[in-house]
A and B are shown apart, each in its own frame.
Chain A
Amino acid sequence: MVGIVGYGVYIPRFRIKLEEIAKIWGADALAYKAGLLMEQKSVPGPDQDTVTISVEAARNALKRAKIDPTEIGALYVGSESHPYAVKPSGTIVAEAMGATPYCHTADFEFACKAGTEGMFVALNLVQAGAVKYAVGIGTDTSQGAPGDALEYSASAGGAAFIMGSENLVAECEFTDAYMTDTADFWRKEHQYYPQHAGRYTGEPAYFKHILGAGRAIMERAKAKASDFKYAVFHQPNGKFPMKVGKMLGFNKEQIEPGWLVPRLGNTYSGSSPMGLTAILDVAEPGERIFMVSYGSGAGSDAFIWKVTERIKEVQNLAPKTRDYLDKNQIYLDYGTYAKFRRKIIMSESPQIL
């Protein structure tokens, strides 16, 4: 049996409230809050990016896994906001973890699904016996164009999972995938902000693929919604995961523990993986977790996890997801947010002197 040996999360300390964004664009804040079921989102500091967040999440995963990092044979970072166009994020993360040089590394991209892709491949490399441990990371620091609906939700955070075959905190019982060519959201080379197909991103994209992967894995596992204590889905806003969960037969109590988006925002590749970490923080041995990601373009990865006895030993070995989410945030005004996110055109770019 293969599964998760250690998990970790990281969320930056800065937040911006939806009212603060709406104020600048003359938009109706209450309508946005009700429409997205969100109140605020996380914002990375000016010295944070997908690599720094991935490193912190990976170090937290290492604290729980308690393994020798030189035994990590593969590491994958999934993101749509890798800091370099050419030069992998994974090499920097592997070096910071102490996993180099005998480590296979690649960066994955698939809109918001890139994180679970890394987890999927990491699990299967361990299953195949190719490596002892493999790391899958999902992180993003995504941006929506100023004033665009995405600006209210695009946030920052990441989660890391060390996969192995012994000392598991959660076994992976089943995986599945569902994918079609669907143009609901995209960004071409040299374009700074993504484009999306507006309302089109709902029915034929998010719902179709999550339901496709979710129903396929239920059938494979011969399971029904009531067999699971928890369910976690990709969270582009507060409403979608609740709605798709109900369509699959889950209730609010099963979804809420991993439902971070109202106070976190949409962390893209980090979204359902971070929800999974919040569930693992409170889970009890024997409980089963249903998980389906979604990435535009479009596809979903599905996982069924079963929590083991070891979970109780590791929950307190690194900071918990809800602590990162709710303790000691710093709220930004729009001007500071625009400066941090480099939305202001400067006379010269910051340089090393």
Chain B
Amino acid sequence: MSTSARYTREIPQRYRLEAAKCKGCSKLFFPPRLICDECGGKEFEPHRLSDKGKVVSYSVVRIGPSQFVEQVPYIVSVVELEDGVRLTCQVADAKPEELEIGAPVTIEFRKIGEEGDAGIIHYGYKAVLDRFK
């Protein structure tokens, strides 16, 4: 499958943070899965996750792959959203010294990468630190 086709299939998660909510026990899965590991249920409904959360852990990448050459040093973090769901994403616009465990973050819509100068742009989610404190 081409990256464009896979990208399109993942749009609900990448663009709207759509998790799968088990109709049997309400457990949330992000990314979605086919069978609930809690109750064995196979029926899910889409559930839009909160755009607020906190930093659970993070690391600073100082020498990254070539696609991130404009962004080093950048921060990759595990974020726990208010719904309890954890996801791994970049913390954008932040200096490493601003980061701390437990820091409140908001999820924003950002460019994640590009398939070269002529290819499609990949959009998705990143976390940012609270700007308005």
Contact = CB atoms under 8 A, between A and B. Distances in A.
Tell me which of A47, A49, A342 has the highest count of chain B C-beta atoms within 10 A of its own C-beta.
A47
B87 interface: no
Contacts, number: 93
Contact of A13 (B69, B110, B131): B131
A144 B40 CA distance: 58
Interface stretch (A72-80, A227-235, A287-295, A343-351): A343-351
Given A45-B93, A52-B123, A95-B15, A352 B131 contact: no
Contact of A46 (B11, B65, B71): B71
Contacts of B51: 59
Tell me which of B67, B108, B109 has the highest count of chain A C-beta atoms within 10 A of its own C-beta.
B109
A350 B70 contact: yes
A51 interface: yes
B96 interface: no
Interface stretch (A171-179, A257-265, A322-330): A322-330
A92 B123 contact: yes
A47 B126 contact: yes
B92 interface: yes
Contact of A352 (B3, B92, B110): B3
Contacts of B113: 350-352
Interface string B71-92: 1000000000000000000001
Nearest to A84: B121
Interface in A326-341: 327-328, 330, 339-340
B132 A327 contact: yes
A304 B124 CA distance: 37
A92 B95 CA distance: 29
A330 B96 CA distance: 13
Contact of B16 (A56, A98, A342): A98
Contacts of A88: none
Interface residues of A, number: 35
A217 interface: no
A124 to B, nearest CB: 28
B132 to A, nearest CB: 5
A52 B108 contact: yes
Given A328-B132, A330-B93, A351 B67 contact: yes
B15 A48 contact: no
A185 interface: no
B11 to A, nearest CB: 6
A83 interface: yes
A13 B132 CA distance: 11
A350 B112 contact: no
Interface string B50-78: 01000000000000011111110000000
Contacts of A51: 109, 121, 123
7 contacts: A47-B112, A48-B111, A49-B121, A327-B133, A346-B69, A352-B3, A352-B119
Interface of A: 12-14, 45-49, 51-52, 55-56, 59, 83-84, 92, 95-96, 98, 319, 323-324, 327-328, 330, 339-340, 342, 346, 348-353
Nearest 10 Cβ contacts at the A-B interface: A55-B109, A96-B15, A46-B70, A47-B110, A47-B111, A350-B67, A352-B113, A349-B117, A13-B93, A328-B131
Given A46-B111, A351-B67, 16 more contacts: A47-B92, A47-B111, A52-B123, A55-B15, A59-B51, A92-B15, A95-B16, A96-B109, A323-B131, A342-B70, A350-B66, A350-B67, A350-B70, A351-B114, A352-B114, A352-B122
